[in-house]
Amino acid sequence: MAYTEIEKGFYKFDKMPVVVEFLQAEMFSNESKTIDVSVGDSSRKSMSWGITNDLCDLREALIEDNNIVPQLLKTQRNIMMGSGIFFFNELQEEGKRKIIEVDPGEEVRSVIESLEEDDFFEDLTNDFVKSALAYVIFKNNGNKKYTISTIKSRYIRPVEMNSDGIVDTFLRCGDWKKKENVAAIASYKAVKKAEIRPLQFIHKIKDDFLGNEYFPVPTWWTGHKWIEIGNKVPEFHSFNLENQYFTPLHIEIQKGYFYQGNLVKMGKLTETEAREAEGLARNNFLETVDKVLAGTKNAGKAVWTEYSLSEMKKEYGGIKFNELKIPRGDEALLELNKSADAANISGTGVHPSLAAIMTGDSLSSGSEIRNALDMYIITQALLSRKQLLKPLNILKRLNGWDSKLKFGFRDVQLTTTDKNPTGQQAVTAN
């Protein structure tokens, strides 16, 4: 659906009597700039996440007000994680790849179980899905073994890259508005290039299909204007429920209706007192009308004017109530809402049926849903899983685990109850 900017920040949609105001585009820019940050007794140049250094928070605040995007992104996360981690060896037989599940041993199993208890994979995937970016910190516990944990991406900023094009340090801070208690932690790229093993370092997981050298842009974010539209449509409907679905009135009040001129002539009121009393009486009358007419908050508000009687016309004065006809544009808003939902669904690449979102294009059978799920895993989830599993592969090398050991996310596939009473079966995938 085409739209044109009628003035800065305001857009008119073709064939629809709807004008939408967008938030400032600069707020959502992925542009980075250098910021001087104090780290101990020294100063470092940090790269900002967006112009205001809080783009991740702005994104999350925007999607929290949406009824479609959060469920779609949550579905992405759930599909990526499958039903958990499994362990396997990979063999080549007659030119075909064969996966054989194996027992990883007590040490590896204990590490994975501990990570699952700490919601490591949930936290890692949450950040990756929302920002196409996540961070893992590696720590040496003193016995030449490393442990890993996640750090929310909102707390991490990279320093300006060095002459080799490498970000050698990440800065960690709990509040980037205050920029206090900032800690510097080496990056995995710098550690790997220098072939050193410090007590701790940070590995960056990202999908940089879009974005700059420091911060990727998640593909779903390219439709953020449609997310704004989807957020605003319910506001229009809410306004209609509270106001326009109740008949607004035009109240005509005869000029001088509340003016007590006789008391002024009798000297009981001054002109000033009479005008004050007139205004008070008029306001009390309108407030009473509002209370009687209002079905919900602010509904049925009245517009009033004064009129004068012509001496040439024979009519009686008083108060007149006239109904105001105001177009609501319900159908236009519904069509706009459908377009916004379709655009937001397309932006995530998740079929709405997989996210339990009902649309006119919903799948009708279990086999269609299974095929849609399989297609999403093949075309979308596999590369993301490869990124999410990198910390385990790095940990395997650092801790000297079996080099043949591989990690994967196990999928669950729908089946018929005659084959499996639960209606599902485990599938090995990575």
Cα 244 from Cα 398, distance rounded (Å): 66
Instruction: Give the pLDDT band (50/70/90) at residue 392.
Output: very high
- The verdict on residue 286 lying in a domain is yes
- The verdict on residue 234 lying in a domain is no
Total Cβ atoms within 10 A of residue 77:
19
Of the candidate ranges 74-88, 161-175, 243-257, 331-345, the one whose mean pLDDT is the lowest: 243-257
- The verdict on residue 420 lying in a domain is yes
* Residues 31-46, mean pLDDT to the nearest whole number: 90
Of the candidate ranges 84-88, 147-151, 212-216, 304-308, the one whose mean pLDDT is the lowest: 304-308
Q: What is the pLDDT of residues 179-230, one digit of tens each?
A: 999 999 999 999 888 888 888 999 999 999 998 999 999 988 888 888 888 7
- The verdict on residue 379 lying in a domain is yes
Q: Looking at the structure, do residues 88 and 166 belong to the same domain, yes or no?
A: yes
More confident residue, 24 or 60: 60
Q: Looking at the structure, do residues 113 and 161 belong to the same domain, yes or no?
A: yes
Cα 328 from Cα 319, distance rounded (Å): 27
- How confident is the model at residue 87, as a pLDDT? 94
DSSP 354: G
- How confident is the model at residue 274, as a pLDDT? 87
Q: Which helix (H) or strand (E) is 321 found in, with range?
A: strand 319-323
**To which residue do tokens 């016309």 refer?**
313
Q: Looking at the structure, do residues 34 and 170 belong to the same domain, yes or no?
A: yes
- The verdict on residue 10 lying in a domain is no
DSSP 48: P
Of the candidate ranges 79-83, 125-129, 159-163, 222-226, the one whose mean pLDDT is the lowest: 222-226
Question: Is 369:424 a contact under the CB 8 Å cutoff?
Answer: no
Cα 391 from Cα 136, distance rounded (Å): 7
Q: Looking at the structure, do residues 84 and 192 belong to the same domain, yes or no?
A: yes
- How confident is the model at residue 143, as a pLDDT? 73
Q: Looking at the structure, do residues 319 and 355 belong to the same domain, yes or no?
A: no
More confident residue, 75 or 287: 75
Of the candidate ranges 52-61, 106-115, 414-423, the one whose mean pLDDT is the lowest: 414-423
Residue 401, pLDDT above cutoff 80 = yes
Residues sharing a CB contact under 8 Å with residue 185, sequence separation 6 or more, in sequence order = 137, 169, 170, 171, 172, 200, 201, 202
Torsion of CA 163, 169, 173, 179, to 10 degrees: -30
Cα 149 from Cα 328, distance rounded (Å): 53
More confident residue, 356 or 6: 356
- How confident is the model at residue 16, as a pLDDT? 47
Q: Which helix (H) or strand (E) is 101 found in, with range?
A: strand 96-101
Cα 78 from Cα 57, distance rounded (Å): 22
Cα 348 from Cα 334, distance rounded (Å): 22
- Kindly state the tokens that stand for 115: 């990570």
Q: Looking at the structure, do residues 318 and 353 belong to the same domain, yes or no?
A: no
- The verdict on residue 223 lying in a domain is no
State whether the Cα torsion 26-32-33-38 is positive or negative.
positive
Q: Looking at the structure, do residues 205 and 132 belong to the same domain, yes or no?
A: yes
Cα 117 from Cα 278, distance rounded (Å): 73
Q: Are strands 169-172 and 424-427 parallel, antiparallel or unpaired?
A: unpaired
Instruction: Give the pLDDT band (50/70/90) at residue 327.
Output: low
Q: Which helix (H) or strand (E) is 110 found in, with range?
A: helix 106-117
Residue 387, pLDDT above cutoff 70 = yes
Q: What is the pLDDT of residues 80-124, one digit of tens each?
A: 999 899 999 988 877 788 889 999 999 999 999 999 999 999 999
Question: Is 271:264 a contact under the CB 8 Å cutoff?
Answer: yes
Q: Looking at the structure, do residues 149 and 210 belong to the same domain, yes or no?
A: yes
* Residues 31-42, mean pLDDT to the nearest whole number: 90
Q: Looking at the structure, do residues 138 and 284 belong to the same domain, yes or no?
A: no
Question: Is 115:423 a contact under the CB 8 Å cutoff?
Answer: no
Give the mean pLDDT of the chain: 79
Residue 271, pLDDT above cutoff 50 = yes
- How confident is the model at residue 424, as a pLDDT? 45
Cα 61 from Cα 57, distance rounded (Å): 6
Q: Looking at the structure, do residues 72 and 177 belong to the same domain, yes or no?
A: yes
| Residue 370: HSE in the Cβ half-sphere, 13 Å Cα cutoff | 12
* Residues 27-53, mean pLDDT to the nearest whole number: 88
Structure pTM?
0.70
- The verdict on residue 24 lying in a domain is no
Q: Looking at the structure, do residues 270 and 160 belong to the same domain, yes or no?
A: no
Give percent of the chain with pLDDT exceeding 90: 36
- The verdict on residue 44 lying in a domain is yes
Q: Looking at the structure, do residues 210 and 121 belong to the same domain, yes or no?
A: yes
Total Cβ atoms within 10 A of residue 136:
23
Domain that holds residue 266: 247-323
Q: For the chain, what is the domain count?
A: 2
Nearest CA to 203 among 116, 142, 123, 133?
133
